[in-house]
Chains A and B, each alone.
Chain A
Amino acid sequence: MVYDLNLPAWKWPFYVTRHPIEGYEDLRWKKGYNMKVALVIVLIFFLVSVAQSLMTGFIFNTSQTKYFFVVPYISSTIVLFFTWVVANWSLCTLFNGEGTMRNICCVSAYALVPYLASVVINTAASNVLLRTEEGFLSFISVVGVAWSFILMVSGMKAVHQYSIPKTLIAMFFTLAAMVVMVFLAVLLVVLFQQVFVFFYTIYTEILYRIS
Chain B
Amino acid sequence: MTGKKARTVAAAFAASAFAASFVAAAVFADEPYVAYDYDWWAETYPVQNGYIVDRVTTGADLKIDGGLRNPSDLFIYDKTGEIYIADTGNSRLVICDSDFQNVREMKAFRYGEDFRLDSEKIGERTSLNRPQGVFVTEDGNGETVIYIADHDNARVLACYENGDVWMEYTRPSSDLYDSGVTFNPKKVIVDNAGNVYICIKSITRGAVMFSEDGLFNGYYGANRVEKTFNAMLNYFLKFILTREQMERRTRPVPVEFSNFTIDKDNFIYTVTEAKSADLDVLKKLDPAGRNVFAKQGYDDMIWGDFNSPYVHGKSYKSSIVDVAVDGKGDIFLMDATSGKIFQYSYEGELMFIFGGIGEQKGLFKTPNAVETYNDKVYVLDGVKNSVTVYKLTEFGILVNEAMGLFNRGLYAESRGPWEEILRRDANYYMAYIGMGNALLSLGEFKESLDYFYMHSRGGYNRAFKDFRIDFIRRNFNNFLVAIFAVIVVLTVLSKLLKRRKKKKALATAAK
Contacts and interface: CB of A to CB of B under 8 A. Distances in A.
Contacts of B238: none
Q: Is the interface of B mostly helix, strand, loop or mixed?
A: helix
Interface string B213-253: 00000000000000000000000000000000000000000
Interface in A63-121: 64-66
Nearest to A62: B457
A58 B454 contact: yes
A59 B460 contact: yes
Contacts of A131: 457, 461
B43 A66 contact: yes
Contact of B460 (A58, A65, A66): A58
Assign chain B's interface to a size class. Answer: 10 to 19
B461 to A, nearest CB: 5
Nearest to A60: B457
Contacts of A59: 457, 460-461, 464
Contact of B464 (A65, A66, A130): A130
B453 interface: yes
Given A130-B461, A130-B464, A130-B465, A58 B41 contact: no
Contact of B468 (A64, A65, A128): A128
Contacts of B464: 59, 130
Contacts of A66: 41, 43
Interface in B442-465: 453-454, 457, 460-461, 464-465
B168 to A, nearest CB: 56
Nearest to B43: A66
A130 B454 CA distance: 16
Given A66-B41, A66-B43, A131-B461, A58 B468 contact: no
A66 B40 CA distance: 9
B23 to A, nearest CB: 31
A67 to B, nearest CB: 10
B398 to A, nearest CB: 28
Nearest to A128: B468
Contacts of A58: 453-454, 457, 460
Nearest to A59: B461
A64 B460 CA distance: 15
B350 to A, nearest CB: 19
User: Taking each of A58, A65, A66, which has the highest tally of chain B beta carbons within 10 Å of its own beta carbon?
Assistant: A58
B469 to A, nearest CB: 10
Nearest to A127: B464
Contacts of A65: 41
Contacts of B43: 66
Given A66-B43, A130-B468, A131-B457, 10 more contacts: A58-B453, A58-B454, A58-B460, A59-B457, A59-B460, A59-B461, A64-B454, A65-B41, A128-B468, A130-B465
Interface of A: 58-59, 64-66, 128, 130-131
Interface of B: 40-41, 43, 453-454, 457, 460-461, 464-465, 468
Nearest first, the 7 closest Cβ-Cβ pairs linking A and B are A131-B461, A66-B41, A59-B461, A130-B465, A58-B460, A58-B453, A130-B461
10 contacts: A58-B453, A58-B457, A59-B457, A59-B460, A64-B40, A66-B41, A128-B468, A130-B468, A131-B457, A131-B461
